[in-house]
Chains A and B, each alone.
Chain A
């Protein structure tokens, strides 16, 4: 593999050490509602996922700023998101099934407002 590709892959891969740091800071009731405060679309995503999947941990991260100026960035921000979600409903489900559940809960937002969504879906036993 060409060196630049190896670098790209490393750049794009999820860094588990940062996730561990975040989870170690969560205690008690805060664990059930960890979010990074953002705009109305992020809030809507969070509400839908809470209602549909009863997550024990949820982070909705607005990545829009990283994509400023590229297709899909509509200028309002709130176009590119990452969702990290832990839900008991994912226990025993395939990766495809988990992502479908998230996509279904967010269907109208994905159709109208959200250009790109990265999903990390885990069951409590995998955390």
Chain B
């Protein structure tokens, strides 16, 4: 990818993370996750009942590569709340189990899924 393409992908990622209160970069879609870690992340978000949006990195090579440098995080899924990087699926699971994820969503005023 050219520098211009890399720059363009970073700009699209920045737009995406601010496009929803809760945004998950994942492989596949919520109904058809293409990876066990993404599937686990979706299960957690569904269980907590928050409204969320997803970006399927398999549909966009620029985002798939760019998301790794955007937050200096090498793996997918990646969870963002109000534009801030929270973590990957291991961190989501730990925060879910300890109740911290529920607290974070409440603290940030995240809407429940309708």
Contact = CB atoms under 8 A, between A and B. Distances in A.
B46 A5 contact: yes
Interface in A1-55: 1, 5-6, 8-9, 12-14
Interface size range of chain A in the complex? 20 to 34
B90 A9 contact: no
Contact of B87 (A5, A12, A99, A110): A99
Contacts of A61: none
A100 interface: yes
A118 B39 CA distance: 14
A85 B47 CA distance: 28
A110 B95 CA distance: 24
B19 interface: no
Interface of B: 34-37, 39-40, 43-44, 46-47, 49, 72-75, 85-91, 93-95, 97
26 contacts: A1-B46, A1-B49, A5-B47, A6-B47, A9-B43, A12-B36, A12-B93, A13-B97, A14-B93, A14-B97, A71-B35, A95-B94, A96-B86, A96-B87, A99-B87, A99-B88, A99-B90, A99-B91, A100-B72, A100-B73, A103-B75, A116-B35, A116-B37, A116-B75, A119-B90, A120-B94
Interface of A: 1, 5-6, 8-9, 12-14, 67, 71, 95-96, 99-100, 103, 107, 110, 116-120
